[in-house]
Structure 1
Amino acid sequence: MKDLQRVLLLPGWLNSDPEHWQSLWEQKFGYERVEQADWGWPRRGDWMARLDEVLLADARPAVLVAHSLGCQLVASWAEHSQLTGRVHGALLVAPPDTEAANMPSQLHNWRPIRRSRLPFPSIAVISSDDPFCSHVRGAQMSADWGSRLVEAGACGHLNTASKLGAWPVGQALLAGLRE
């Protein structure tokens, strides 16, 4: 089954830099990054429409691999899109709490957080010391979305600063979703 699927990488706010595990996966495995028109001032509706465009361009089932704001994209998109049947599963890594008081003003249009149960299998990976989401809020989002929760320990925002490299643990989680 996994040979018939495509893997779509959904970076967060400001995109994933070259040393980010998503970028390393793109280089190593040829996964497709969903590019956005504006990484600096992300509009939820625009990002949702872009995901629909990418899914419509290829009828193969997709597995979504989201980091940070990409997780909020998946939750918002799944509430509104007619294309959720094209998604085989989602790996949601370090969802940010966009309702927190310390969120940058560029992310205010990502409020409220969509909390509906996702219509496909998902795994949410959270860190105990993520500066953009408390452990309690991350666990609650995971539960609301119906995601299997994986606790990564003290790994910050699970990004380049976390020094994950190509993140073999994430690769294993993705392999399980693709079966």
Structure 2
Amino acid sequence: MNPTPDPTVVLVPGLRDHVPDHWQTLLAARIPGAVTVPPPTDAGLARDARVAALNDTLSRIEGPVVLVAHSAGVLTTVHWAARHRHPVRGALLATPPDFDTPLPDGHPGPGALRENGWLPVPRTPLPFPGIVAASTNDPLARFDRVAGLARDWGSRLVDIGPVGHLNPASGYGQWPQALDLLRTFGCGTSPDTGVPA
């Protein structure tokens, strides 16, 4: 009997451009066959363009996937899940921002977020298992607010400590815990994955 193959890992970035030393970029390089959703060109803040890019990426993949989303990529994922379907074994949803409260300077305001379709944020249970990884000192979302999102989405909340927004500006880089959390969804279990057991 053949073992069940690993699902395809699909990385869903946030609103910032791809950064070589971002943990998602580094993780993708460690997992053979991982796919990163490309940023839509000339889309600005448009939510629909990012949801369409995720849906287009998934439409090219046969079999189950595990989604690995960061920041606004988490919100892209939940907006996608509210209107599309694909076999999703699970989703690692890292440090979602709280778009319902004003963000720090240098980030989009509530008017721009609403105008571009991000608000309201879906609060219905996701149709697949989720793990929400929440930072205790994220400048873009208080821990209790992220805990509320996890509860509404029917996802497990994991406290990952004081890691800021889990990005290079916060000192990350590699995020080894991502590999452990992905194993919850059956990733990294085949001998040829290249991911340490």
TM-score (norm 1): 0.90
Deviation at 1:164, TM superposition (A): 3.5
Report the Cα distance in structure 2 between the residues aligned to 1:2 and 1:143, rounded to whole angstroms.
30
- Counterpart check, 1:55 vs 2:61: no
Q: Quick check: which has more Rg, 1 or 2?
A: 2
Specify the alignment match of 2:19 in structure 1.
17
- Counterpart check, 1:145 vs 2:153: yes
Q: SS at 1:18's partner residue?
A: coil
Report the Cα distance in structure 2 between the residues aligned to 1:21 and 1:76, rounded to whole angstroms.
23
Give the 3 Å change call, closer, same or farther, for CA 128–34 of structure 1 in structure 2: same
Alignment RMSD = 1.9
Report the Cα distance in structure 1 between the residues aligned to 2:160 and 2:4, rounded to whole angstroms.
25
8 A contact 1:10–1:33 mirrored in 2: yes
**Deviates most, 41-50 or 130-139:** 41-50
Specify the alignment match of 1:6 in structure 2.
8
Unaligned runs of 5+ residues in structure 1 are: none
- Counterpart check, 1:130 vs 2:138: yes
Alignment of 1:27-66 (within 5 A): 27-30=29-32, 31-38=34-41, 41-66=44-69
Report the Cα distance in structure 2 between the residues aligned to 1:130 and 1:50, rounded to whole angstroms.
27
Report the Cα distance in structure 1 between the residues aligned to 2:36 and 2:128, rounded to whole angstroms.
20
Unaligned runs of 5+ residues in structure 2 are: 188-197
**Deviates most, 133-142 or 1-10:** 1-10
* Residue identity in the other structure for 1:167: W
* Residue identity in the other structure for 1:95: P
8 A contact 1:129–1:156 mirrored in 2: yes
| Aligned sequence identity (%) | 38
Report the Cα distance in structure 2 between the residues aligned to 1:176 and 1:15, rounded to whole angstroms.
28
Q: 2:120 aligns with which of 112, 121, 138?
A: 112
8 A contact 2:96–2:146 mirrored in 1: yes
Report the Cα distance in structure 2 between the residues aligned to 1:66 and 1:53, rounded to whole angstroms.
16
8 A contact 1:89–1:178 mirrored in 2: no
* Residue identity in the other structure for 2:132: A
Report the Cα distance in structure 2 between the residues aligned to 1:37 and 1:124, rounded to whole angstroms.
25
Aligned length: 177
**Deviates most, 35-44 or 96-105:** 35-44
Specify the alignment match of 2:190 in structure 1.
none
> Which has a greater percent of helix?
1
